[in-house]
Amino acid sequence: MQAKERIIFPLDLPSFEEANRYVRLLSDHVGMFKIGLELFIRSGPGIIRTVASEGGAGVFLDLKLHDIPETVYRTVSVIADLGVTFTTVHCGESVKSLLAAVKGGGGKVHILGVTILTSVSPEDLHQSGYAKPFCSDLSGLVLKKAVMAKHAGCDGVVCSGLEVKMIKEHFGKSFIAVTPGIRPSWDGIKPDDQSRVVTPTQAIQDGADYVVIGRPIRDAGNPAEAARRIIGEIEEALSRMDA
């Protein structure tokens, strides 16, 4: 897979018009556009067709479902007919909803389990009642969630770049790892609300298949140029890995 194809740009934008502007600006520089709740709720499912035809890239419908199995099954059955490449379900607390998602997808959409959001810190987990060993070592919890996803037949997981190596070691190359929380080193590492961040180079070197990169591209003076710089960084990392 080429460097460009590994970049997922989230369309975290306030309007259909703005999203469309970024799609046109970045269609040659990213492999996939991610539609999240904000844009989906504002624009409806029609946005998927627009992004797919304007962008010439894949579409990732990131609704991060977290509900009872029957509701997840019914929802993913609908998503399966929208023609998107990836969709997400929280690994959550029970494998049953993940199984329902896989069944609902019927092989027509890749299902990714969201392990632990990259904005979550050990302190957050402690406050929400998780046992101490999982708060001090988040990777143990990410692994447990990934085991659930794998067991349910998901195609892969969303995890931070800090955990991607462990995921690949445990589940092998074909289990897809998508990593948000990416900050290029030249961006001065502004974490924003992300807690567990790594550079594109580190994520790719550790085995990430895809990197989700939003604000470092969206908020750059020249977003296309920022994306090109990231492609260059990923190309370098890939060529070092081939050598």
Residues 6+ away with beta carbon under 8 Å from 108: 80, 81
Distance CA(66)–CA(75), nearest Å, equals 11
Catalytic entry in 4, 64, 108, 168: 64
Q: How many residues bind ligand C5P (CB under 6 A)?
A: 17
Q: Which of 192, 225, 239, 241 binds ligand C5P (CB under 6 A)?
A: 192
The answer to the question of residue 209 lying near ligand C5P (CB under 6 A) is: no
The answer to whether 198 and 216 are in contact (CB under 8 A) is: no
> Using CA of residue 54, residue 180, residue 152, residue 97, what is the dihedral sign?
negative
Of the candidate spans 101-109, 113-121, 139-147, 200-208, the one that interacts with ligand C5P by CB under 6 A turns out to be: 113-121
Question: What mask, x for binding ligand C5P by CB under 6 A, covers residues 144 to 163?
Answer: --------------x-----
* Ramachandran bin of 175, using left for φ above 0, alpha for ψ from -120 to 50, beta for the remaining angles: beta
- Is 64 a catalytic site residue? yes
> What is the nearest approach in angstroms of ligand C5P to the Cβ of residue 219?
8
Of the candidate spans 19-27, 89-97, 115-123, 134-142, the one that interacts with ligand C5P by CB under 6 A turns out to be: 115-123
Of the candidate spans 104-112, 149-157, 210-218, 221-229, the one that interacts with ligand C5P by CB under 6 A turns out to be: 210-218
Question: What mask, x for binding ligand C5P by CB under 6 A, covers residues 31 to 70?
Answer: ---x-x-------------------------x--------
Which residues are annotated as catalytic? 64
Q: Which residues bind to ligand C5P, rule: CB under 6 A?
A: 10, 12, 34, 36, 62, 117-119, 158, 180-181, 192, 194, 212-215
